[in-house]
């Protein structure tokens, strides 16, 4: 008997849930541990998306469970005008991991919320209102964050915030600007800002960027791009907001992905990985920007700002990532994963590109590597076959791009789990050829 076919469960789901995007897997997930989910049939499913790209320590990490248990018995929630030791301890520990210029934090619940706080601060401090982001960005589903999101969710809801602009996403696999056969992202960036300057009313406030655009198809900004982007921003009196929802806490093989490019963002946002799957986000900026925002009456009073329980969890996540060498582990396990995917690419012509950093990799499915024509049907078929064989992977499909698998196992993933995932992907691809 298939316990996932619980007619009462699915009837209630159909009758009482608002559908919020895509289709639900026809599974009932009963528990999770480490790199695996377990459905109602007690079947193990290897989780190569870390939940919603968040569970960097794997599912139900014992020290996180202990931290939650302790907080639930001592201090869970407070009036937003009160402070607790976990909040101050996390702010202190987090800023110690960051360069000067990222000195002050506010702790919130979701990535969208942290981006709302950042954009609101950017507008207030600059006295301007125009926000620029990438054409394949995802920064959240709330007001300002949704207005800065271009990869999905823009149809049918009326106008975005006034002053919302997008520039082309730099994409080496499908370059739009070339010089002598080489992708010229600098020329593309120059052209993009020429267009922004022509459209702006003189009120450019900030640019918000992901170091690796995840929902946009795992597009890693070229080396040097962030520095060039920040220069463009500062020349115009804009702030650079870096959104590290998915790249923070070691996932790319650095504690923060922006470190590779040797810049200091004006504002940094963290979420997903900071809480290792629990609702915790942070907006971090300089003392100078915070002082100016405060002087101008910065207001971001929310129900769960500075909540002690999530802060205690974030402090424990930071401790474990650093103590257990998980940043280095993301590099070594990421190299193993990339090597395995590369071997599949040599074998199967439908794998057009492997890209990303550390344990945040993308695999794009095309009709063949020569044409690079998208093959979304095969991408969907591989997704279904993987799930049937016990592997959870997420595929994103965007115009002009093949189905791109976002592959992001926990930082705690083992070598054998990486190898198992690669083998399931191999068998799933093989199935689409038969």
Sketch the domain layout of the chain as residue ranges: 7-60+326-433, 75-323
Structure tokens belonging to residue 428: 């799933």
Query: Which residues, 6+ apart, have CB-to-CB distance to 393 below 8 Å?
Result: 48, 49, 382, 383, 386, 387, 405, 406, 407, 425
Return d(Cα 34, Cα 136) in angstroms, integer.
Answer: 31
pLDDT for position 398? 86
Look up tokens 């300089």; give the residue. 286
Query: Which residues, 6+ apart, have CB-to-CB distance to 207 below 8 Å?
Result: 131, 132, 133, 229, 232, 233, 238, 239, 240, 241
What is the model's pTM?
0.97
Please tell me the total number of residues recorded for the chain in this structure: 434
Q: What's the CATH class of domain 75-323?
A: alpha beta
Return d(Cα 434, Cα 432) in angstroms, integer.
Answer: 6
DSSP 200-227: --S-EEEEEE-SEETTTTSEEPPTTHHH
pLDDT for position 142? 96
Is a pLDDT exceeding 90 seen at residue 22?
Answer: no
Question: Which residues are designated catalytic?
Answer: 138, 210, 243, 246, 272, 406
Query: Which residues, 6+ apart, have CB-to-CB distance to 253 below 8 Å?
Result: 327, 328, 330, 331, 334, 357, 358, 359
Structure tokens belonging to residue 206: 């900030």
Percent of the chain with pLDDT over 90: 96
Return d(Cα 171, Cα 176) in angstroms, integer.
Answer: 8
**Cα-flanking dihedrals φ and ψ of residue 129, to 5°?**
-135, -5
- Please state, in angstroms and as integers, the Cα–Cα distance from residue 418 to each residue in 49, 59, 409, 413, following that order: 12, 16, 8, 7
- Please state, in angstroms and as integers, the Cα–Cα distance from residue 225 to each residue in 231, 396, 397, 424, following that order: 10, 24, 25, 35
How many of the other CB atoms lie within 10 Å of CB of 228? 19
Find the mean pLDDT for residues 320-346.
98
- Please state, in angstroms and as integers, the Cα–Cα distance from residue 196 to each residue in 168, 192, 421, following that order: 11, 6, 43
**Cα-flanking dihedrals φ and ψ of residue 395, to 5°?**
-115, 130
Return d(Cα 192, Cα 100) in angstroms, integer.
Answer: 30
Find the mean pLDDT for residues 392-397.
92
Q: How confident is the model at residue 50 (pLDDT cuts 50, 70, 90)?
A: very high
164-184 per-position pLDDT tens digit: 999 999 999 999 999 888 999
Is a pLDDT exceeding 90 seen at residue 324?
Answer: yes
Return d(Cα 432, Cα 378) in angstroms, integer.
Answer: 7
Is a pLDDT exceeding 90 seen at residue 351?
Answer: yes
- Please state, in angstroms and as integers, the Cα–Cα distance from residue 67 to each residue in 37, 106, 136, 314, 318, following that order: 22, 21, 37, 10, 13
pLDDT for position 317? 98
96-151 per-position pLDDT tens digit: 999 999 999 999 999 999 999 999 999 999 999 999 999 999 999 999 999 999 99
Query: Which residues, 6+ apart, have CB-to-CB distance to 417 below 8 Å?
Result: 35, 46, 409
Is a pLDDT exceeding 90 seen at residue 400?
Answer: no
Geometric angle at alpha carbon 185, from 181 and 186, rounded to 5°? 115
Which H helix or E strand runs over 93?
helix 85-96
Return d(Cα 245, Cα 271) in angstroms, integer.
Answer: 5
pLDDT for position 410? 98
Structure tokens belonging to residue 385: 């076959």
- CATH number 3.90.1150.10 is the correct assignment for the domain at 7-60+326-433: yes
pLDDT for position 402? 85
pLDDT for position 130? 98
Sign of torsion over alpha carbons 114, 209, 211, 136? positive
Is a pLDDT exceeding 90 seen at residue 5?
Answer: yes
pLDDT for position 105? 98
3-class DSSP string for 251-296? CCCCCCHHHHHCCCCCEEEECHHHHCCCCCEEEEECHHHHHHHHHC
Is a pLDDT exceeding 90 seen at residue 399?
Answer: no
How far is CA 168 from its chain centroid?
A: 19
Is a pLDDT exceeding 90 seen at residue 434?
Answer: no
Q: How confident is the model at residue 272 (pLDDT cuts 50, 70, 90)?
A: very high
Return d(Cα 242, Cα 232) in angstroms, integer.
Answer: 14
pLDDT for position 425? 98
């Amino acid at each position: 008997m298939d316990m996932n076919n619980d007619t009462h469960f699915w009837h209630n789901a159909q009758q009482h849930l608002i559908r919020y995007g895509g289709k639900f897997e026809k599974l009932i997930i009963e528990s999770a541990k480490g790199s695996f989910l377990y459905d109602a049939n007690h079947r193990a499913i290897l989780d190569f998306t870390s939940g919603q790209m968040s569970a960097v320590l794997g599912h139900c990490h014992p020290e996180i469970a202990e931290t939650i248990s302790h907080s639930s018995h001592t201090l869970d929630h407070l009036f937003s005008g009160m402070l607790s030791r976990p909040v101050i301890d996390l702010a202190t520990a987090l800023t110690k991991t960051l360069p000067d210029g990222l000195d002050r934090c506010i702790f919130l619940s979701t990535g969208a919320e942290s981006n709302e706080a950042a954009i609101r601060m950017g507008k207030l401090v600059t006295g301007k209102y125009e926000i620029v982001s990438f054409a394949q960005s995802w920064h959240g589903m709330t007001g300002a964050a949704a207005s800065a999101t271009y990869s999905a969710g823009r149809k049918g809801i009326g106008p975005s915030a006034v002053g919302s602009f997008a520039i082309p996403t730099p994409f080496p696999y499908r370059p739009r600007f070339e010089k002598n056969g080489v992708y010229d992202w600098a020329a593309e960036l120059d052209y993009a800002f020429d267009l922004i300057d022509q459209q702006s009313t003189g009120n450019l406030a900030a640019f918000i960027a992901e170091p690796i655009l995840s929902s946009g198809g795992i597009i890693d900004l070229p080396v040097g791009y962030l520095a060039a982007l920040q220069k463009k921003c500062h020349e115009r009196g804009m702030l650079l907001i870096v959104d590290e929802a998915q790249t923070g806490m070691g996932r790319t093989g650095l504690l923060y992905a922006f470190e590779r490019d040797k810049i200091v963002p004006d504002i940094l946002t963290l979420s997903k990985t900071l809480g290792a799957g629990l609702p915790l986000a942070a907006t971090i900026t300089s003392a100078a920007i915070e002082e100016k925002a405060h002087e101008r009456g910065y207001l971001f009073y929310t129900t769960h700002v500075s909540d002690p329980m999530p802060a205690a969890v974030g402090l424990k996540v930071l401790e474990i990532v650093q103590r257990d060498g998980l940043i280095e582990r993301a590099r070594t396990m990421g190299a193993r994963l990339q090597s395995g995917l590369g071997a599949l690419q040599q074998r199967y012509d439908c794998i057009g590109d492997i890209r990303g950093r550390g344990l945040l990799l993308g695999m794009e499915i095309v009709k063949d590597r020569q044409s690079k024509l998208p093959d979304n049907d095969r991408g969907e078929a591989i997704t279904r076959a993987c799930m049937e064989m016990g592997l959870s992977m997420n595929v994103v499909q965007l115009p002009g791009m093949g189905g791109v698998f976002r592959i992001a196992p926990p930082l705690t993933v083992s070598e054998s789990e990486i190898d198992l995932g690669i083998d399931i992907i191999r068998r799933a691809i093989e199935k689409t050829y038969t």
